[in-house]
Amino acid sequence: MKRIRSLIAGALCLSGVAGLAIPAQAAETIKVGILHSLSGTMAISETTLKDAMLMLIDDLNAQGGLLGMKVEPVVVDPASDWPLFAEKTRELLEKEKVAAIFGCWTSVSRKSVLPVVEELNGLLFYPVQYEGEESSRNIFYTGAAPNQQAIPAVDYLMNELGVQRFVLAGTDYVYPRTTNKILEQYLKDKGVAADDIMINYTPFGHSDWQTIVSDVKKFGSAGKKTAVVSTINGDANVPFYKELANQGIKAQDIPVVAFSVGEEELAGIDTKPLVGHLAAWNYFMSEDAAVNDAFIKKWHAFIKNDKRVTNDPMEAHYIGFNMWVQAVKQAGTADVDAVRQAMYGQKVPNLTGGISEMLPNHHITKPVLIGEIQPDGQFATVWRTDGLVAGDAWSDFIPESAKLTADWTYPWVCGNCEKPTYAQAGM
């Protein structure tokens, strides 16, 4: 007990935060919040992440738990309602006293949660690709930043497929709009003319794609190789891909590279007409690695269904949860400030055979993969980075962001300053 108290005191000193309540070490369990939509438009993507977290917690408890205690999952359903994400987060932190929260999918849900976890000093592990342009000491971003997905995907289209015209199609909220702002500037910097960039946004749950797909087809008939870069999220992807097939848009004509469509989303679609269309992720279920084989086997045993797929955000939760477990063990406590300090530099195996590391900017290192849709709904990897890519909190392709840095390690404690100094960090 003396050692634990010493570790806590040291962590509080390092973080420069005083007067915070320390969870009683006599607690029977360590509670973990699971904040994923189990209903509404995002349930198609998020329900599986809830199941994955339950599997990870069940496996940890089967091995004896954490610090001699069982880890207790507290599952809530924010129901694809962005303000409700904030309410449920407050409930998890104030009422349930969870040590960490694993959740959110859309950036609008994350931004709803952000002020709550900052106010109440919680920890959110966010497992989905996002637009960057954010840095919080209370969020660890285990999904891809734009330089770990969007930028490499566009490079692949230009360099490998010879694409000259781009349709940036997204759902109308912060992630697609910010990502496309980055991509539009990046494409222009690469010499792509403004007339060769078409941008379109649709609401969540959009179902009538006939006119939009027709416009895409017309845009692609100008004599230049054209591709669609898709940031369409949620169940709107099902009618979107069906309309592509209805209008005969094949991958060899106008390839689509998606950032939010993985194995889970394809499970509800007849993928045969979509063969050859692309997705950019940091993990595919089809990856040939012993650690991935073991993960899939464990997943099928837990879910009791050999047909259930795995996907990239599941891997991000796998990485984030294992990093959190290691940090709790290193700190000797589940206290937020002690765990946050222990998170920096944590290394765990990812599911593609490499080792991912938590960086001082609260992002991780990840490989980047481009995969082609196969008839069975899986992806065949057609391109990958030579090694792991470090996630950037701030984009180099937005002028006001290019000069910013994020480093939350002591003594800087700075998420959006040009050059970390004691003065800027309030030290």
Angle at 378 between CA 376 and CA 384, to 5 degrees: 150
DSSP 44-97: HHHHHHHHHHHHHHHHHHHTT-BTTBEEEEEEE--TT-HHHHHHHHHIIIIIS-
In sequence order, the 6+-apart residues with CB closer than 8 A to the CB of 245 are 270, 273, 274
Q: Return the pLDDT at 409.
A: 86
Task: Please report the beta strands in 302-346, taking only residues with DSSP state E, as ranges in sequence order.
Answer: none
User: What's domain 147-288+369-390's architecture?
Assistant: 3-Layer(aba) Sandwich (3.40)
Is there a contact between 187 and 154 (Cβ–Cβ < 8 Å)?
yes
**Does the domain made of 2-145+290-364+409-417 have the CATH classification 3.40.630.30?**
no
Distance CA 239, CA 34 (A): 29
How many whole angstroms separate alpha carbon 253 and alpha carbon 276? 10
Q: What type of residue sits at position 374?
A: Q
Q: What does the pLDDT look like over 349-377, one tens digit per residue?
A: 999 999 999 999 999 999 999 999 999 99
Pick the range with the lowest mean pLDDT from 266-275, 291-300, 316-325: 266-275
Radius of gyration of the chain (CA): 21
233 touches 253 (CB < 8 A)? no
Tell me the sheet residues that pair with 258: 230, 279
> What percent of the chain is modeled with pLDDT above 70?
89
CA dihedral 373, 374, 377, 379 (to 10 degrees): -60
In this prediction the pTM is: 0.87
**pLDDT tens-digit profile of 55-107?**
999 999 999 999 999 999 999 999 999 999 999 999 999 999 999 999 999 99
CA geometry: angle 132, 154, 261, nearest 5 deg: 70
Tokens of 201: 């946004």
CA distance 350 to 320: 10
- Which is higher by pLDDT, 423 or 284? 284
138 and 166 Cβ atoms separated by less than 8 Å: no
Every domain range in the chain assigned CATH 3.40.50.2300: 2-145+290-364+409-417, 147-288+369-390
CB atoms within 10 A of CB 372: 19
pLDDT band of residue 405 (cuts 50, 70, 90) is confident
Question: Cis omega before residue 176 (within 30°)?
Answer: no
pLDDT digits (tens, 9 = 90+) for 199-214: 999 999 999 999 999 9
For residue 390, the model assigns a pLDDT of 97
